[in-house]
Amino acid sequence: MYRMYLNGTGKEAIVKHDISGAEGMAVDWIAKKIYWVDSKRLSMFVTETNGTNRLALIRRGFVKSPRAIIVDPANGYAYWTDWSLSPYIGRIGMDGSNPRKIITNKLGWPKTP
């Protein structure tokens, strides 16, 4: 995972290891943290924007096929999608507390005509 200035200069690696399946990423602009889901490690992670203090919020077992993530720092939640055979949208406290499935029905792939 890299960061750089908006003009494309100053490229700097902030997370160098074990990030091969990053599918979605979100930035908490208030606490200055980066959240992401990893489809290969079946996990959700958080780190400081400089790459320090990396922490797994969810590990293999709770998620089966995580893909996207968004954060709502004003209310303290992160939301993610799981594209497994039983897809769902989940919610977790941004501190890793209380992961749960919040939408579990009427989700799936669109049908072609």
Give per-residue pLDDT as tens, 54-109.
999 988 788 899 999 999 999 999 999 999 888 999 999 999 999 999 999 988 77
Domain segments of the chain as ranges: 21-103
For residue 79, the model assigns a pLDDT of 97
**Cα–Cα distance for residue pair 41/92, rounded to 1 Å:** 18
Give per-residue pLDDT as tens, 22-64.
889 999 999 999 999 999 999 999 999 999 999 999 887 888 9
For residue 68, the model assigns a pLDDT of 94
> Is the separation of the CB atoms in 35 and 71 below 8 Å?
yes
110 has a pLDDT exceeding 80: no
pTM of the model: 0.88
Q: Assign a CATH topology to domain 21-103.
A: Thrombin, subunit H (2.40.10)
- Which residues are within 8 A (CB) of 17 and not within 5 positions of it... i.e. 6 or more apart? none
For residue 98, the model assigns a pLDDT of 94
**Cα–Cα distance for residue pair 37/70, rounded to 1 Å:** 10
For residue 74, the model assigns a pLDDT of 96
Handedness of CA 111, 68, 66, 73 (dihedral sign): negative
For residue 19, the model assigns a pLDDT of 81
